[in-house]
C-alpha cells in the first residue's frame, strides 16, 4: 500500500502577543545600541538622573494641572502622592505655601465619617485613603500628621471589613487584594492595626495565590505584579507571611524580569516601568525575609535551638520567619507585635545579593523610561506622574538592594551611573521615604499613648 502523501506544513504565523513583544524589544535595543555606540562622555550623561528636569515637571504638576486631567478627578489624592513621593525620593521639599495648600486640600477630601475620597465631597475609598495618608506622611510635620483623624479612619476600615476576611474598596465596592493592602497599610502606619482588622485577611490572600506562585487580585484570577506586592506586603504586616508559598512566589517573581532589563506585570505581557517597584519592591521584601531566616538559623546554632533577633531598640521575637514555608509545612513564626514589623524588615541586616538583576533594572529605567522631565512606561509612551513615581521607587529599590541594612548607604558600584543618582531610601512595605516613615512612626506611637 502506497503511503499517503504528506500533508503540507502550515505556514507559521506569530501571535499578536509575539508581534507586540518584538516591536518593544526592537525599540528598547535601539536605545541600548545607541548608548553602547556613544562616546564615554555621552554615556555618562545618558545614565544620569535628570533631577532638575524631573523636579520642574513635578512642581508644575503640583501647582497646576491642565484640563486633560479632568478624567482623574476621582484620583486627586493619588496625584498628590505620586508627585510628593517622587519629589521626596529626589530629596526635594516643597515650599511652605505648597505644603499648606496640599494639607488643606487633603483635609477637604477627608470624609466626616472617616476615610478620604478622590476629591472634596466624594465617597471615601480605600485607595484614595492610602494615597492621602501617604501624602500627608510624606509632607511630614505636626500640622500634616495631626490632620489625619485616626479614630474615624479606624471606624471606616471596620465598616469596609468583609465577611470573606478581605475588605471592600468602598461602600458596596469590590473586594480584592488591593483593598486588603491599602486598609492594612493605612492601619499599620497609623498605629491602629488590631485583630478586628486582621482577622481573616491571611486566609483571603492565601486563596489568591495562584498555581504560578504569584498573587491574583481575587481568587481564580491571574497572578499579577501589583497584586503580588500588595498581598506579600499585607501578609508581612499582619505577621502571616510564612503561610504563603514563598519559594513558588519567588520563582514567579524573578522570571518576570526579561531581556529588556525591566519587569513585566504578568506572564507573556510587555515590560512596564511601573513594575520596577511592584516587582522590585516585592523582591526587596523577600530578600529581607531570607535575611531574617538566615539570622534565625545563626541564632539557633549559637543558642542551641532558641532564637532571638533585634526587632527595634527594645523588642525581641521568639522565633524567625521562614521564607520557604507552604501552608501546613513546619515553620517557626516570629511572634512579634505587628507595630514592630515594619522596623524589623527595614533594619534587617543582610549579606544576600538581590533576587533580580539590579543593574539591568536601573539601565532600563534610566535609558528607556526616563524622559526630559518625568518617566514613562516604555519607549513610545508618554510620561505621567504614576510612572514617574514607581520608576523612581523601583530605582531606589534597585540601588539599595545591595545594602546590608537601612542605615548603610549603597556602595558606588551598586548605583548605575554617577553616585549622584542615589535616591532617598524607602520603607518598601509602604513605599514611603524612610526618614518620613520614622517621623510618622514616632508621632503616631506617641499619639496612641495619650
Is residue 52 assigned to a domain?
A: yes
- 247 confidence band (pLDDT: 50, 70, 90): very high
**Domains: count for the chain:** 1
76 located within any domain: yes
304 domain-assigned: no
- Return all residues near 46 (Cβ < 8 A) that are at least 6 apart: 35, 38, 366, 367
pLDDT at 83 over 80: yes
- Report yes or no: 397 and 409 within 8 Å, Cβ to Cβ: no
Burial of 202 (0-12, 13-18, 19+ CB in 10 A): buried
Q: Which residue intervals of 162-274 are DSSP H helices?
A: 177-189, 195-198, 201-206, 225-237, 246-254
Cell 471589613 found at? 161
Q: Are 183 and 169 in contact (CB under 8 A)?
A: no
Answer for the pair 390, 277: CB distance below 8 angstroms, yes or no: yes
Query: Domain with 392 in it: what CATH number?
Result: 1.50.10.20
Per-residue pLDDT at 159: 98
Beta-strand relationship, 383-384 and 426-427: unpaired
Q: Is the pLDDT of residue 57 over 50?
A: yes
- CA distances, 173 to each of 74, 161, 169 (Å): 15, 11, 5
Residue 28, in any domain of the structure: no
> Which residues are designated catalytic?
224, 266, 269, 272, 274-275, 377, 384, 387
The closest of 226, 133, 232 to 187, measured between CA atoms, is 133
Position 311 pLDDT exceeds 50:
no
Distances (CA, A) of 432 to 10, 94, 178, 338, 363: 54, 16, 17, 18, 23
In this prediction, residue 413 carries a pLDDT of: 93
Integer Cα distance of 32 and 28 in angstroms: 6
Q: What is the pLDDT of residue 307?
A: 32
pLDDT (tens digit per residue) in 334-375: 444 656 677 666 666 566 789 999 999 999 999 999 999 999
Domain span at 443: 40-63+72-295+339-447
* Residue 17 counted as domain residue: no
pTM for this one?
A: 0.88
- Is position 59 within any domain? yes
- Percentage of the chain beyond pLDDT 90 is 79
At residue 20, the 3 state secondary structure works out as helix
Q: What angle do CA 422, 424, 425 make, to 5 degrees?
A: 110
End-to-end CA distance of the chain: 96
Residue 13: inside a domain, yes or no? no
Chain mean pLDDT for the chain? 88
Instruction: Give the pLDDT of residue 348.
Output: 63
Calpha distance 247→244 (Å, rounded):
9
Beta bridge partners of 316: 310
Instruction: For residue 382, count CB atoms less than 10 angstroms from its CB and return exposed for 0-12, middle for 13-18, buried for 19 or more.
Output: exposed
- Evaluate whether residue 258 is within a structural domain: yes
Burial bucket for residue 211 (CB in 10 Å: 0-12, 13-18, 19+): exposed
Is the separation of the CB atoms in 156 and 113 below 8 Å? yes
- Choose from 7-11, 30-34, 408-412 the range with maximum mean pLDDT: 30-34
Q: In sequence order, which residues have a C-beta less than 8 Å from that of residue 199 and are 6 or more positions away? A: 165
Taking a C-beta distance cutoff of 8 angstroms, is the pair 253, 286 a contact?
yes
Query: How many angstroms separate the CA atoms of 167 and 174, rounded?
Result: 8
pLDDT per residue as tens digits for the range 187-213: 999 999 999 999 999 999 999 999 999
Q: Contact at 8 Å (CB) between 78 and 116? A: no
- pLDDT beyond 90 at 10: no
Give the residue among 149, 295, 323 at the shortest CA–CA distance from 235.
Answer: 323
Average pLDDT over residues 243-255: 97
Amino acid at each position: 500500500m502506497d503511503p499517503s502523501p504528506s500533508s503540507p506544513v502550515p505556514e507559521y504565523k506569530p501571535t499578536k502577543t509575539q508581534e507586540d513583544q518584538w516591536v518593544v524589544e526592537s525599540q528598547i535595543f535601539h536605545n541600548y545600541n545607541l548608548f553602547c555606540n556613544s562616546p564615554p562622555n555621552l554615556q555618562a550623561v545618558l545614565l544620569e538622573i535628570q533631577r532638575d528636569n524631573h523636579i520642574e515637571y513635578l512642581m508644575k504638576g503640583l501647582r497646576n494641572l491642565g484640563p486633560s486631567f479632568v478624567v482623574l478627578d476621582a484620583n486627586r489624592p493619588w496625584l498628590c502622592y505620586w508627585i510628593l513621593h517622587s519629589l521626596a525620593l529626589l530629596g526635594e521639599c516643597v515650599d511652605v505655601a505648597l505644603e499648606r495648600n496640599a494639607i488643606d486640600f487633603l483635609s477637604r477630601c477627608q470624609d466626616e465619617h472617616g476615610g478620604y475620597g478622590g476629591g472634596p465631597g466624594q465617597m471615601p475609598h480605600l485607595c484614595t485613603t492610602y494615597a492621602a495618608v501617604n501624602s500627608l506622611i510624606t509632607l511630614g510635620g505636626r500640622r500634616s500628621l495631626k490632620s489625619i483623624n485616626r479614630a474615624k479612619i479606624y471606624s471606616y476600615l471596620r465598616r469596609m471589613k468583609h465577611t470573606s476576611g478581605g475588605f471592600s474598596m468602598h461602600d458596596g465596592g469590590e473586594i480584592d487584594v488591593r483593598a486588603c493592602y491599602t486598609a492594612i497599610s493605612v492601619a499599620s502606619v497609623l498605629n491602629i492595626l488590631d485583630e478586628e482588622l486582621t482577622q481573616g485577611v491571611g486566609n483571603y490572600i492565601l486563596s489568591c495565590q495562584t498555581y504560578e506562585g504569584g498573587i491574583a487580585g481575587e481568587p481564580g484570577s491571574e497572578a499579577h505584579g501589583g497584586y503580588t506586592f500588595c498581598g506579600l506586603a499585607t501578609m508581612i504586616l499582619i505577621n502571616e507571611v510564612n503561610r504563603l508559598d514563598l519559594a513558588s512566589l519567588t520563582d514567579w517573581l524573578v522570571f518576570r524580569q526579561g531581556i529588556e532589563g525591566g519587569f513585566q506585570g504578568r506572564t507573556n505581557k510587555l515590560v512596564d516601568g511601573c513594575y520596577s517597584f511592584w516587582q522590585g519592591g516585592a523582591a526587596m521584601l523577600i530578600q529581607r525575609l531570607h535575611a531574617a531566616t538566615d539570622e534565625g538559623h545563626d541564632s539557633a546554632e549559637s543558642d542551641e535551638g532558641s532564637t532571638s533577633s533585634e526587632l527595634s531598640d527594645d523588642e525581641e521575637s521568639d522565633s524567625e520567619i521562614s521564607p520557604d514555608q507552604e501552608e501546613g509545612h513546619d515553620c517557626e513564626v516570629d511572634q512579634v507585635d505587628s507595630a514592630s514589623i515594619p522596623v524589623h524588615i527595614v533594619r534587617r541586616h543582610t549579606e544576600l545579593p538581590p533576587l533580580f538583576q539590579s543593574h539591568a533594572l536601573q539601565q532600563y529605567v534610566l535609558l528607556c523610561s526616563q524622559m526630559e522631565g518625568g518617566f514613562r512606561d516604555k519607549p513610545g509612551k508618554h510620561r505621567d506622574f504614576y510612572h514617574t513615581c514607581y520608576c523612581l521607587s523601583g530605582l531606589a529599590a534597585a540601588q539599595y538592594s545591595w545594602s546590608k541594612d537601612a542605615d548603610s548607604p549603597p556602595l558606588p558600584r551598586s548605583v548605575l551611573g554617577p553616585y549622584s543618582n542615589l535616591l532617598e531610601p524607602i520603607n518598601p512595605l509602604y513605599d514611603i521615604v524612610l526618614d518620613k516613615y520614622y517621623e510618622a512612626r514616632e508621632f503616631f506611637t506617641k499619639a496612641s499613648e495619650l
